[in-house]
Amino acid sequence: GAVVSQHPSRVICKSGTSVKIECRSLDFQATTMFWYRQFPKQSLMLMATSNEGSKATYEQGVEKDKFLINHASLTLSTLTVTSAHPEDSSFYICSAGANRDLHFGNGTRLTVT
């Protein structure tokens, strides 16, 4: 089946630094990938839709200059949290569609100290 790999699984960084999260589709090509954010005990909130070879589409309220998305190939999308602050601490999950199903990465637990 379709596998989506996400790295790192956990990251701790200091305020003001940037963190890059990678999302790879291992056995299929994904022209579109999705980035979600999940706060504790809350639902998955779509942040942006990543399109291969073009600019990402951000949901309302998501700062595109803070959450940089690059989708340079059919199998890799990256999310960079720039100038991270403690309030950016969250669980970030990517996903990609294949065969009309949505396949999720394992998620990245980001802690900003």
Partner 1 sequence: GENVEQHPSTLSVQEGDSAVIKCTYSDSASNYFPWYKQELGKRPQLIIDIRSNVGEKKDQRIAVTLNKTAKHFSLHITETQPEDSAVYFCAASSGGSYIPTFGRGTSLIVHP
Nearer to partner 1, 66 or 109 (CB): 109
Binding segment for partner 1 among 15-23, 69-77, 78-86, 91-99 (CB under 8 A)?
Answer: 91-99
Counting contacts by CB under 8 A, is residue 101 touching partner 1? yes
Residue 87, φ and ψ in degrees, nearest 5: -70, -10
Beta strands in the chain (DSSP E): 4-7, 10-13, 19-25, 32-38, 45-51, 57-58, 67-73, 76-81, 90-98, 101-104, 108-112
CA dist., res. 107 & res. 63, Å (int): 20
**Cross-strand partners of 51:** 32
The angle formed by the CA atoms of residues 11, 12 and 13, to the nearest 5 degrees, is 120
- Residue 83 CB, shortest distance to partner 1, in Å, is 26
Q: Does 54 bind partner 1 (CB under 8 A)?
A: no
Q: Which stretch binds partner 1 (CB under 8 A): 14-22, 70-78, 82-90, 95-103?
A: 95-103
46 contacts partner 1 (rule: CB under 8 A)? yes
Q: Of 12-20, 71-79, 80-88, 93-101, which segment contacts partner 1 by CB under 8 A?
A: 93-101
Q: Give the nearest distance from C-beta 90 to partner 1 in angstroms.
A: 12
